[in-house]
Structures are given as C-alpha cells and as structure tokens.
Amino acid sequence: MTLEALPWLILFLPLLAAVAITLFFQKDEERSANFSIGAVWIGFALSAALLFFTAGKAPLETAVNWLDVGGLKADIGLRVDSLSLLMLLVVTGVGGLIHIYSRGYMHGDAGFSRFFASLSLFTFSMLGIVLANNLLMMFIFWELVGVSSYLLIGFWFEKPSAADAAKKAFLTNRIGDFGFLLGIILVWATLGSLHFGELETALKNNPQALGALATTAGLLLFCGAVGKSAQFPRHVGLPDAMEGPTPVSALIHAATMVAAGVFMLCRIFFILNVPGSMALEVIAWIGGFTALLAALMAVQQNDIKRILAYSTLSQLGYMVMAIGLTAPGAAMFHLTTHAFFKALLFLGAGSVIHTLHHEQDIWRMGGLKTKLPVTYLTFLIGTLALCGVWPLSGFYSKDSILAAAAEHNIALFILGVTVAALTTFYMARLFLVAFLGPAKSDAAEHAHESPSVMTVPLRLLAVPSAIAGFFGLEAFLEKFFHPAEAGHATSFLETIFAPFNHSPLAAFFGLFAVLLGGSCAFSLYWNATRDVLPEKIGLLSRAMRNRFYFDELYEWFIARIQEALATFTDAFDRWIVMGLVRLTHGSVELTGRALRLLQTGNLQTYTFLFAAGVVALLYFVLH
Amino acid sequence: MSLLTAIILVPLLTALGLVFVPRNLRFGVRLIALASSALTLLLALVLFAGYDSAAAVDGFKFVQQIPWVESLGISYHVGVDGINLGLVVMGAIVAFAAACCSWEINRYEKEFYILLMVMTGGILGAFASLDLFFFYFFHELALVPTFIMIGVWGRGERKNYATFQITLYLSVGALLALAGLIALYLQSGANTFNIVQLTAHLKDQPLPAKAQQFIFPLLLFGFGILVSLWPFHTWAPLGYGSAPTATAMLHAGVLKKFGLYGLLRVALPLMPEAAQQWVAIIAALALGNILYCGLVAIRQRDLNLLIGNSSVAHMGFCFLGLASLSLIGVSGAVLVMVAHGLLAALTFGLSGYLHAHAGTLQMDQFGGLLRRMPFIGAAMVMAMLAGCGLPGFANFAGEVMVLFGAWKSFSWVVVFAAWGALVIGAVYMLRAVRNLLHGPLPEKWAALPDANLWRKLPFALLLGALLVLGFWPRLLTEKISASASGIVEMSNAGPERLLLKKPLRPLPVRSTAKTASQPKAAE
C-alpha cells in the first residue's frame, strides 16, 4: 500500500461508517457506535502514521478528477502538508474523544444510531475541508459540513426550538457560502485555476495578478469564514446551535466546524496577503470586534452552554484577528489549543448537565467540587487554559496573537488585552457559581459523577489542554508559514519561558489581564447565590444579557425584508400576473358568450338579420 | 432496428396493446404498464452503457433513418449524442418511477395507463428525434395526454381552471414554436427537416440576419413558454398542483425540458446572430425565474405549489446556462436538465404519496412526520437538500457549472443567481422540512403509514440516480461537453462571420429567402 492511499482511507472511512449505519445498523446501537468510533480512531492512527512518514518531505498530493469541462477543472484532490496534518490530528483526535464520550451521553436515546451516523457524516465532511487541495472541493465539503451540522443541531427535531435553531444555523451558513462561492468564481475567472498550488504559484510569479479585484476577492472568500466561524455580523447563529446534544456543541461548535473558517483563511492566506489588498485589514478588525462583542455578551449569560458558546465566538475572533495581523501561524496555534480546552470545557459542561438532569442554568448548580471531582478538576484546567494562565496551553497561543497585535496594530493589542480580561472574568464567574459555593438546587445537592466512558475523555483532553503550549506546535507551524525563517532549535526550558523573552510586553499584559479579570470575578461571585452585577451596571447588563439586541436586529433585517419581498412577489404573482391570465380567459369567454347570442337557432331571427344585411349592403352600394 | 427505436416503441405498443385488455383486469393493466416501463428503462440503461462518444457517426449514435415524405424532406430519424443521451435515460427512469407511483389512481385505470404509456413514448421520441417534424410531433403526442390526465384524474378545487390554463399556455407555446420551426424550414432553403443536415447546411450558409431576428424570438418564446420561462410561468405551479402524481412527475421532470432542448439543439446553433442579441434578455428572464419564483415559493403553504414554484425557479439555471453560450455553462445547463428531471419526479412522487395518505398538502397541518415515516421523511429531506443545491446530488454540479460558465458574460446575473440558489432556495426548502417533518406530530397523523418495499423502489431509484451523478458528474459531463462543443462553437460564430463576410451583408435579404423557399413550394 502506498502512502497515497492513507489520506483516502482517512477521508472515506467515516463516510463508509455513516452509510453502513444508515442502511444496515439502524437498530443495532452497539455496532453503530463501534463503527463510528472505529472509523475516526483509525483515521487518527493513520494521520499519525502520515505525520511520521511525511516528516521533512514535500507535501503529498493525490487526486481524482471530478469535473473537467472547458476551462473548469475540479478535482477531488487531497493535500497532506503540515497545515492539514495538524488539523487532521485535531479533528480525529479531539473528535474521537467526543465520539467516545457521546456513547455515554447519548445512551438510551431513541435516535442513538442516527446520532452516530450523523456524527460520522460530519467527520467525513470536516476531513474533506481539511484535505481539500482546491477551492471547489473545499466548497463542496464546506456545504456538507453545513448540512451535517444542520442534522446534528436538529437532532431532537421534535423540539420546535431545536428544529428552528437547525434551520437558522443552516441559513446563516448559507449566506456566508454565497460570498464564498462568488469569491471562488472570481478567483477562478481571474487566475484560471482552482488548485491551491497553482494559485500560489500564479500569485508568486505575479503578485498583481488579481489587480483591483484583490480586496473584493479576499473579502468574498472571507464571507465563507464569517459564516462558518460565526464572525460579526453572522455571530447570531452559534449560540442557537447549542440546541443540539452537548457532544455536538463540543465537536462542532468548539473544536472543529467553527474552526474551519480559520483553517480556510490559513489555507488561502496567500490570496489574502497580496500587495494592494485591504482584505487583511478588514479581517483583523472584524475579528477583534467579534472577540470584544462576544466576550461582553458572555458576561451576563446564565446558561452554561451559552457562556461557552459566546466564549468560543470570542476566541474565534482572536484567531481571525491573528490572520488579519498576518500571523496565520498564531491563529492555527490558538485554534489547536482552543480545540483541546474548549472541547474539554464543553464535555465537562455536558457531564454537569447530564448529572443534573438537563439543568443548564449556572445559578441552579453549585457545590459540585466534591460531588464531581473529575469533572471539577478537568474543568478547572480547561478554565485556566482558556483564561491564559501560565504555563497552560492557552497562555502560549493567546500570547502569540497578542504579540502579533503589539507588533502590527496597537489599537487591536489594547482590544485584545481587554478581551483577555473579560474572558477571565466570565470564566471565573462561571466556575465560581457553578462548581463552588453552596448547592443552589435539589439536583445539585444530589449530583454524582458521570460514568467513566464520559470522564476518561475529560482526563485525556485535560493533558493537551495543559501542556500543548510548549510542545513545539508553534515552531511546527512557523516552519510551514515562514519556511525561510525557521530553524533555530531551542531547549525545553527556553520554550516554556519563550514568550517572556520574545515579546515581554504581550506576555505581561496578558497575565495582568488575567489577574484583573480574575480578581473582579472573585470579589463579585465568591460564594454568591445571585448575580449582583446587573445592579451595578444596570442598562449595560441588560444589553449584554440580550446580546445587544443583535438577534432582534437580525430577525428584523434579514427575515423581515426577505419575507416582505416574498409576500410582495407572491401577491404580484397572484393578482397581477395571474390576473392577466384571468383577463385573457375572461375576455375570450365574453366574446364567446356575445357571439353565442347571435346563434339563437331561430329561423326568423336569421332571416331578419339576413334581410337587414342585404338592405344595409344595398344602401352602401347604391348610395 | 436501432435500440433507440425500440425504446420509443415499447411504451407506444404497450399503449396499443392495453386497448385490448379488458378493463376489469385492473391489476393486469397496471402490471403490464409497469413491466413495459421497466423494459424501457432497461433498454435505456443498455443504451447508456453502449454509448461511446468517440465512436459516434456525425456525432450521433444508435441512428436510424427511414424516409417518409421525401418531397418535403421528412424522415423518421432518431439518434443520440451526449446531449440527449442523458435526457433519454433520465426520461426512462422517471417514466418507470411515474408508473410505480400511479397506484393512487383508482378509476378508469385502463385509460390512465394507456395515456401514461403514450406520454412516455412521446417524451422519449421527442428527445430522440433528429427530424424537426417528428421532434415536434412526439412532443405533441406527449402533451395532449397531459391535459386529459389533469382534467380527468386531477385533484383539488381549482382543477378545471388549472387544466384550462395549462392547455392554453402550452398550446400557445407549442404553436409559436411550430411557427418558428416552419419558418426555419422555409427560410433555410435546405428542404429538409433533418436537424443534422439542417445544421450542416446552415453552418456553411447561415440564415440571413433578418430571418434570424424574426424566427429566433418565435422559438425563444414558444419554447420558453413550454419551460415556464418567466413571466410565462403561472401555469406550472398550479398545473402541477392539480395534476395526478405520475403526470406531474413526467411533465415537470421530463416533458418540460423539451423547450430547453429545442433552444439548445435548434435555436442557438442555427441562429447564432440573433442568439447573441437575445442572450442578455434570456439571462435577465432567467433571473426572473430564479429570484421571483423563488420568492413566491417561500410564501406557499401548499407543498405542491412550493415544489411547483421551486421547479420553475430551477429552470432559471438552465436558461442562464444556455444564455452564457460557453461550454461550461451549456454543459451545466444540460446537467441541470437531467438532475432537475430526477429531482422534480422525486419531489412530486413524495408529495403524491403524502397526498394519497393524508388527503391534504397544506403544510401548516403537518409536523413531525420524520418520526412516523422514517423512509419517506428521510427521502424528502434529501430531496429538499438536493433542491437547494447540496453537493453530493447532481443538481449541485450542474448549478455550479452554470454559475461558473455564466460569470464571464453576466457577472451580475450570477451574483443574484447564486443568492437565489444558495439562500432563497434554502429558505423555502428548509421551511418545508421544518413544517412537514420537524416539530411535534399532530395526533391526527399518528396512523400515517411509511412506504413499504415496493413504494420505496421508485424513490430509491431516483435518489440513487441523483447521488450517482452528484458524486460522479463526469459520467455525463464528458459526454455532454464533447457534443455541446460543436453547438457552442456555432452559437458563438455569429460576430466573426459577420466581420468576415461583411461584403455579403447588403445582399437583398428578403428576396433570397423567398427565392429559396418558392421553388420548394412549387414542387
């Protein structure tokens, strides 16, 4: 077996599992879970093998032609390089743990097999994005990811809120995809190819090849990321997506799908980063703005999953900002560490929700420290990592973003530090209220730890959440994005303290933000039984809780306008266009009726008319 | 006898044979019709397997030509190239599925199946014909049963009005097209109805510009009305909403594509100069289909009206692809024709199933059917997703090709068309899924049965075909583009020819046309 076969296996095994489960094992829960979990773990093993065998070699590419008409050539082609390998490992590794966890979490659900089939379909789609070697294939899997997340969010489709949320999530994605597709067409029409390698060569040879369209093309492609990674102004969909089962939130809305936008931007970074393009500037600001906005929203949410969802939005904003600051390496670094600790946090939240019989309000939790020791401890690690406490993973990745900001744009640096403080504040709030303090409900009093099928993934995720920061990931990514500059080997201890040598400003401000946010949260929420913040900041708190009314605005702007347009068109169609048809119908019928009056069948009338005609004719002729 | 002739004759002879079957043998009638359409399908698949674009004569394979009226140049002449191959096979698949879905008919079964078989034969004949006379004749042969079937076996209060409207519209469309085809025959001076000869003839001696400008609109609007070109579309949703399932499947799926096929095979390549003047208008009208009818679909409460409007909207992509006059766009248009044929049949089949069991298609009365009917529900979700252009289904490949192909000539139209495809389509398709399949199940539908193995067959077949072409569009696109390149080349030949032969332009246009046509009339 050649090396080329491996990526194909990695990609298609989950699809195979999904098809097999759907067609043959709908009733066999045991087997469907095994297939689904097996497919993704084999994928992980093969990805690791690929990493081992391709280390230090040129990127591996393998393709079959999908479409070739005229000048439009699109392959289903797989590209294995450092970027896709890292992402493969994240998707199959983190995804694999979530698969296992789901087995416990979904136990006893009527749609158990359907859940695993959808999970495998999602994995397949996600791996397609990761492995794609051209824009059209990426778009294909982009769409498939959209639809599998639709299926997963709407998994409990009988619940109206879940069904609506699924619909909304799909539409939100679709609006982004609209821009993405136009961007793809534009790039293809100007540069004549869809293949990443060919495009890169074309732009390297002639950086001005996109000409005046560079900004437009870049921003259109960015639209896709805006939709998938839920950046402003498409950020309204993600929290609704929490309607799905919690493992889905962890898999899709923390570790993988939402990261696809960031991954895509890294993949097409060479198109964005051309001279004369303003795209990166816009991207940086949108990312920064989303980070701030989402962090503010998270401060006043009470649903544990929603807090994590807004936090995800905010962290995605960081990553997008990093790309805008021409630091895709930092973005991918943060993406990876974030995948670990956010999946951990979501699964931990799921464990709490599971044991409290689907209670999601943090003000009805509390005192879980002793009752859920494993969940408590791992959640703590996740929280600290997310806040960016040295030496946990989040510190390093966030630091590399802040360092990039300090270097390029001081306004965004200040914004980034503010967001870091807010992050610590809301995460500390969540942790203090939900896990510490007195138990605030009966269910919380009688909570007990989840089964080991759920806690083992938590333990396993806690490890990389803690140590992924100084594991050489950054160097691995730097080598990919800046092959020329890499090469200085550093010792282990040096790596741990690297941020302080490298960019002390960013590192110290980052830690200062953690301290500030943390101490504020402690003073307000230590042993608190109710939220006192609303009294202190009043109106602002309400705006935060109501997400600054963006949902309403969105509802009004998108839904109403489209709806009004549809109503108008429908009325027009019904009354004007159909009216014309009816008019034709009516006038023909009227003429028919009028003519019928003449044909009475009465001989006298005919004779009379005949005679009258003769008289009239004679009169005209003789006159 | 060519395989193609056999494909056309099987259903027509079955219709003839059914006349002699006693009417109380209801099951027998149905069985014969099913067997016959299964045989047709089998032959069509053999045809597809045996097609090899490289080995085609004159670009066509499975050709059979029998002279009929030699003085007028009419002959029975059939053959397939990459363009109509897919349409014939798709037609046979849909015809079989339609026959399977006809179990809901419970009165005058014999007459129904006779008409169904005539319609099938007519459809397959129309797409296989390479002679303008038979091309038109077969279409009419299929069209007339449509009216009768809606009028007799149709449903709903507005059945009569729907029948009236569809008859009026389609007859006018067909007449306009007929006038255009006759004018083309007379003006060409080739004294033949043979499309192949006509094409070769007009390639060397193009029609005078005046004649083109007069004939092209006739064909455009004649064929256009048959395909529900905006704003001549109102017959379609209502007509399909009132038609019996099989008729809606066959007409929306296959017969409707006749107009597009006519535009592609006749109007565009034979009148390139006029075509180039009209393409901008076609593109604009296509946008009317995509956006306007898409928005109308959003507002529909009746599932069949929603599907009908969405089917009209999808026709916009075919028009846009044809208007692009590029190989990518035209090939994409043909692929959309095939894909949409399968999809329309699938959706109308499913809605027919629902109607037969529930007696209504008002979407607000349903909900949560997915739990009750896992197969039908899942098939419907897949159909709806295919309808909003999800990759993996053939529609996506076709629509993407159209958008790519049309970008160079009509960038702004593509922008709006993409919005229609990705967003508007998703809005109404997901709304249908939400209303029908998601949410709580009302108690009155607690006894709705899911499909049994036999009822599943047509849906599985159609879905399978959509998926195969979606995963592997090259199966068709290679054949299509090989045959379409000639047509695209001819359609684009106008301006250069205009420049090259400039001295020839001032020739007295009308008199040449007359001298060319008069001797024929004298003969």
pLDDT at B494: 58
Whether B171 has a pLDDT exceeding 80, the answer reads yes
AA identity, residue A372: L
Res. B505 pLDDT band, cuts 50 70 90:
very low
User: Is residue B307 included in any domain, yes or no?
Assistant: yes
Residue B133: C-alpha distances to residues B9, B57, B102, B182 (Å): 18, 22, 31, 9
SS3 string, B291-350, reads HHHHHHHHCCCEHHHHHHHHHHHHHHHHHHHHHHCCHHHHHHHHHHHHHHHHHHHHHHHH
Q: Which residue has the tokens 């593509």?
A: B414
CB atoms within 10 A of CB A1: 6
Q: Do A310 and A243 meet the contact criterion of CB atoms below 8 Å apart?
A: no
pLDDT at A10: 92
Partners of A170 on chain B (C-beta within 8 Å) are 426, 430
AA identity, residue A163: A
A68 phi and psi angles, rounded to 5 deg: -150, 90
Res. B237 pLDDT band, cuts 50 70 90:
confident
User: Is residue B380 included in any domain, yes or no?
Assistant: yes
User: Is residue B119 included in any domain, yes or no?
Assistant: yes
Q: Which residue has the tokens 């266009």?
A: A577
Name the token pair of B53: 């674009």
Res. B383 pLDDT band, cuts 50 70 90:
very high
Q: Give how far the C-alpha of residue B432 lies from the chain's centroid of Cα atoms, to the nearest Å.
A: 24
| Cross-chain residue pair B426–A170, CB shorter than 8 Å | yes
Size of interface A-B (CB pairs under 8 A): 134
pLDDT at A490: 60
Cite the beta strand spans of B231-298 per DSSP E. none
Q: With CA atoms as reference, report the closest residue to A303 among A362, A236, A350.
A: A362
Q: Give the domain extent around B280.
A: 3-491
CB atoms within 10 A of CB B256: 25
A73 phi and psi angles, rounded to 5 deg: -120, 120
The vertex-B482 CA angle with B476 and B487, nearest 5°, equals 115
User: Which residues in chain A (402-441) have CB-CB distances under 8 A to chain B?
Assistant: none
B228: helix, coil or strand? coil
Q: With CA atoms as reference, report the closest residue to A181 among B308, B457, B417, B156.
A: B417
Q: With CA atoms as reference, report the closest residue to A377 among A355, A350, A344.
A: A344
Q: Which residue of B has its CA nearest to A165?
A: B434
| Cross-chain residue pair A70–B292, CB shorter than 8 Å | no
Whether a cis peptide bond, with omega within 30° of 0, leads into A391 is yes
Minimal Cβ distance to B328: which of A65, A70, A143? A70
Helix (H) or strand (E) holding A597: helix A578-598
Q: Which residues are paired to B362 by β-bridges?
A: B302
Q: Give how far the C-alpha of residue A256 lies from the chain's centroid of Cα atoms, to the nearest Å.
A: 8
The contacts of residue B493 (CB under 8 Å, 6+ apart) are B203, B206, B272
User: Which residues in chain A (522-581) have CB-CB distances under 8 A to chain B?
Assistant: 562-563, 565-567, 569-570, 573, 577-578, 581
User: Is residue B507 included in any domain, yes or no?
Assistant: no
A241: helix, coil or strand? helix
Minimal Cβ distance to B474: which of A67, A141, A166? A67
Q: Do A122 and A38 meet the contact criterion of CB atoms below 8 Å apart?
A: no
- What is the Cα–Cα distance from A567 to A460, expressed in whole angstroms? 53
- What value does the mean pLDDT of chain B take? 86
Q: Tell me: the pLDDT tens digits for A307-343?
A: 888 899 899 999 999 999 988 888 899 999 999 999 9
A444: helix, coil or strand? helix
The residue-averaged pLDDT of B193-219 equals 86
| Cross-chain residue pair A158–B481, CB shorter than 8 Å | no
pLDDT at B508: 42
- What's the number of domains chain B is made of? 1
User: Is residue B512 included in any domain, yes or no?
Assistant: no
Partners of A585 on chain B (C-beta within 8 Å) are 164-165, 168
Partner A contacted by B475 (CB < 8 A): no
Whether B254 has a pLDDT exceeding 70, the answer reads yes
User: Is residue B416 included in any domain, yes or no?
Assistant: yes
The minimum CA-CA distance between B34 and chain A, rounded to whole Å, is 27
The vertex-A432 CA angle with A426 and A435, nearest 5°, equals 120
Partners of B299 on chain A (C-beta within 8 Å) are 566-567, 569-570
User: Which residues in chain A (135-174) have CB-CB distances under 8 A to chain B?
Assistant: 136, 139-141, 143-144, 147, 154, 157-158, 160, 163-164, 166-167, 170-171, 174
| Cross-chain residue pair B439–A158, CB shorter than 8 Å | yes
Partner B contacted by A486 (CB < 8 A): no
- What is the Cα–Cα distance from B317 to A227, expressed in whole angstroms? 25
Res. B365 pLDDT band, cuts 50 70 90:
confident
User: Is residue B504 included in any domain, yes or no?
Assistant: no
Partner A contacted by B397 (CB < 8 A): yes
Name the token pair of B475: 């199966």
The minimum CA-CA distance between B192 and chain A, rounded to whole Å, is 33
With a cut of 50, list the residues of chain A below it in pLDDT: none
Whether B517 has a pLDDT exceeding 50, the answer reads no
User: Which residues in chain B (411-450) have CB-CB distances under 8 A to chain A?
Assistant: 414-415, 418-419, 422-424, 426-427, 430-431, 433-434, 437-441
Substitution target in A11, A12, A22, A69 with the highest count of B β-carbons within 10 Å is A69
pLDDT at B513: 40
Minimal Cβ distance to A174: which of B164, B408, B422? B422
CB atoms within 10 A of CB A203: 19
Whether B40 has a pLDDT exceeding 90, the answer reads yes
User: Is residue B129 included in any domain, yes or no?
Assistant: yes
pLDDT at A138: 93
Whether B514 has a pLDDT exceeding 50, the answer reads no
CB atoms within 10 A of CB B218: 20
Partners of A175 on chain B (C-beta within 8 Å) are 422-423
pLDDT at B56: 56
DSSP A449: P
Q: Do B352 and B243 meet the contact criterion of CB atoms below 8 Å apart?
A: no
User: Which residues in chain B (288-317) have CB-CB distances under 8 A to chain A?
Assistant: 292, 295-296, 298-300
Lowest mean pLDDT among A102-116, B315-329, B462-476: A102-116
Say what the pTM is: 0.88
